[in-house]
Structure 1
């Protein structure tokens, strides 16, 4: 049975039903078109609802036995209901010619409303399908680091523009091609309106192609008060959760046009860098005497072995580099500073949370007006921020605590209290009555 026969049969059934109910024949002749329209609308939406529940039932039955990502996502975004919503206007549009005359006002108005409803329903259903596809794509491991959400939004914007143009063309009874051609005159206005979208699209492509940023990256952008983890990347915004629990949103093109720090390389590497230094007072740096070396042998077993090996090399007149491939960076026994470098290198080597595979050394930097900086350069195995800070603090605290044992002292700007305490010590006052005396000064005084 073709559409014409189906429509005529349906109309006959409707008239028979209405006569059976008791509606007079003259009234039917006047209102048969409107009554037919009401019935085909009811039938069209009934078919659409039935199709929705049938597809939903079978989809859930399939998911009960096997998890399919796209089907789960379609249910999550209620896409099946939105897809079934495009069925009623198609049925109504195919049956309208049999209810009204082509030239009647009822037919023209009903057809426009039907097709506008169809394209609105189609727009919502396509957006739901694209969201479902986007979720499935982002769940794939090889695509997790790509801004798929931004690309999905680009397709949604394009399809929305096309749907709006078609709806407007239906309302004004013009061809969509004529509208698209006429848009050239409004190109400048459109560029202004969709500036952020266009810039976001270009920036998204650049960020994706160059792998500049991913969800989960720790980025730092001081000019925008950004210092945290990327939680979302869309067409128009990049959302960052700062470490102070504030949320910052920035446009993607600001990442391309400006500069930012991405800590991904650190998180993917074998360790997080520690690079700190103390500045030592120059007037306490001195050559190591045999008596000083003997005293330092009792300070640390490994340091004692190092001193013994170096003394043996000196007596045998061997070049230090033959036994020390790192050169003189990590310690000598010529000065108390060199001995301190050797000790701190040993300390780092036996530290359980310092990487032995990555570079680590203790070195002196260029002298400054405050003294000679000595720097710790190594990598923490634990990259978690609180743990990293704890490890770094432990190393630097130990560093400064052993300085007096090597008869070295860090530079520190003196305060008024320091001058007063120094005067009291020089006047040979009782040190027990003075608070905040450096412990090494008390020891030296007691000796």
Structure 2
């Protein structure tokens, strides 16, 4: 399908170029001084009308000559909100089937003039995995040193090797420090997490909302559905592990939190109706 469309467009362009050449000879520019002016104006008008087509044709040959785009490739065009598999490529148009089964068609020159990402090598297993990058904002009000009771409880709860327990879980160590090391150790031993090119578990800069713990890892499951499933499992385990270390995710107070607060400024409830009646008399 792609070959048929491409060759038909090339033939159409060749015919158009031939017609243009015949028109130039018909004007007999050498004998008619006005021919130069007519040719210049016509070229400017045609160039303006077909500027997108000309750019797309140039982009098509550039992308194909450098092996940057093939039928079936998974591509992402962030500026256009496009992410899916390439279905057709022509001299002027690229068609992509998005993840939500919708179809996007756009001029070929967009892939030359704007940033796009081709993830096909990753899906084909020619890279080390698919990137997982997540951040969990932890409420710093829950940071505290581990007590002997905390240490004993963690030794019974965590399913880790004795070496990690002996060298990491100690009385007086901050729970946030031990939690970070546990997450790193757990991901190091996760068969779906690739340790190369890098595996990073780090604290980011403190914010007004808390301190973010960032996970930067590559997963061996690269297909969209398998990757999202595995990523969700890892996130769920990390959130579950927070409870073992007495840590909590930060969440802005909601109306429910305010209505169920145990904080009272005065023992006597405010009577707004009485106050409004007094203001009305004044």
1:236 aligned residue = 92
Q: How far did 1:304 drift?
A: 4.2
**What is the alpha-carbon distance in structure 2 between the residues aligned to residue 339 and residue 415 of structure 1?**
30
Q: Answer yes or no: is 1:262 the counterpart of 2:118.
A: yes
**What is the alpha-carbon distance in structure 2 between the residues aligned to residue 214 and residue 339 of structure 1?**
47
2:104 aligned residue = 248
Deviations 1:79-113 (A, max 9, x none): xxxxxxxxxxxxxxxxxxxxxxxxxxxxxxxxxxx
Does the residue aligned with 2:131 lie in a helix, a strand or coil? strand
Check whether the contact 2:147–2:172 (CA below 8 A) recurs between aligned residues.
Answer: no
Structure 1, unpaired ranges of 5+: 1-76, 78-130, 136-148, 170-175, 315-331, 425-447
* Aligned pair partner of 2:146 in 283, 288, 303: 288
Check whether the contact 2:132–2:218 (CA below 8 A) recurs between aligned residues.
Answer: yes
Does the residue aligned with 2:62 lie in a helix, a strand or coil? helix
How do residues 46-65 of structure 1 correspond to structure 2 at under 5 angstroms?
A: none
Deviations 1:28-80 (A, max 9, x none): xxxxxxxxxxxxxxxxxxxxxxxxxxxxxxxxxxxxxxxxxxxxxxxxx9xxx
* Aligned pair partner of 1:413 in 237, 252, 264: 252
Q: Note closer, same or farther for the CA distance 1:188–1:181 as it changes in structure 2 (3 Å cut).
A: farther
**What is the alpha-carbon distance in structure 1 between the residues aligned to residue 235 and residue 195 of structure 2?**
18
Q: How far did 1:383 drift?
A: 1.0
- With structure 1 as the length reference, what TM-score do the two structures score? 0.49
Q: Answer yes or no: is 1:309 the counterpart of 2:156.
A: no
Q: Answer yes or no: is 1:373 the counterpart of 2:212.
A: yes
Deviations 1:258-306 (A, max 9, x none): 3333334543422111111211111211223444323311112425431
- Which structure has the higher relative contact order (CA within 8 Å, separation 6+)? 2
Q: Note closer, same or farther for the CA distance 1:310–1:178 as it changes in structure 2 (3 Å cut).
A: closer
2:51 aligned residue = 195
Q: Note closer, same or farther for the CA distance 1:261–1:181 as it changes in structure 2 (3 Å cut).
A: farther
Q: Answer yes or no: is 1:398 the counterpart of 2:237.
A: yes
How do residues 298-447 of structure 1 correspond to structure 2 at under 5 angstroms?
A: 298-302=156-160, 304-310=162-168, 334-423=173-262
Check whether the contact 1:153–1:234 (CA below 8 A) recurs between aligned residues.
Answer: no
- With structure 2 as the length reference, what TM-score do the two structures score? 0.74
* Aligned pair partner of 2:12 in 157, 161, 179: 157
**What is the alpha-carbon distance in structure 2 between the residues aligned to residue 357 and residue 259 of structure 1?**
26
2:80 aligned residue = 224
Corresponding residue pairs, total: 252
Q: Note closer, same or farther for the CA distance 1:405–1:158 as it changes in structure 2 (3 Å cut).
A: closer
Q: Note closer, same or farther for the CA distance 1:375–1:251 as it changes in structure 2 (3 Å cut).
A: same
**What is the alpha-carbon distance in structure 2 between the residues aligned to residue 211 and residue 265 of structure 1?**
12
User: Rg: which structure is higher?
Assistant: 1
**What is the alpha-carbon distance in structure 1 between the residues aligned to residue 26 and residue 9 of structure 2?**
21
RMSD over aligned Cα atoms = 3.3
Q: Note closer, same or farther for the CA distance 1:204–1:333 as it changes in structure 2 (3 Å cut).
A: farther
Check whether the contact 2:85–2:97 (CA below 8 A) recurs between aligned residues.
Answer: yes
Bigger proportion of residues as helix = 1
Bigger proportion of residues as strand = 2
**What is the alpha-carbon distance in structure 1 between the residues aligned to residue 258 and residue 17 of structure 2?**
80
Q: How far did 1:226 drift?
A: 2.1
Does the residue aligned with 1:214 lie in a helix, a strand or coil? coil
Runs of 4+ with >6 A deviation:
none
Q: How far did 1:234 drift?
A: 0.9
Does the residue aligned with 2:253 lie in a helix, a strand or coil? coil
Q: How far did 1:308 drift?
A: 1.0
1:278 aligned residue = 136
Q: Note closer, same or farther for the CA distance 1:283–1:235 as it changes in structure 2 (3 Å cut).
A: same
Check whether the contact 2:200–2:215 (CA below 8 A) recurs between aligned residues.
Answer: yes
Structure 2, unpaired ranges of 5+: 30-34, 264-282
Does the residue aligned with 2:209 lie in a helix, a strand or coil? coil
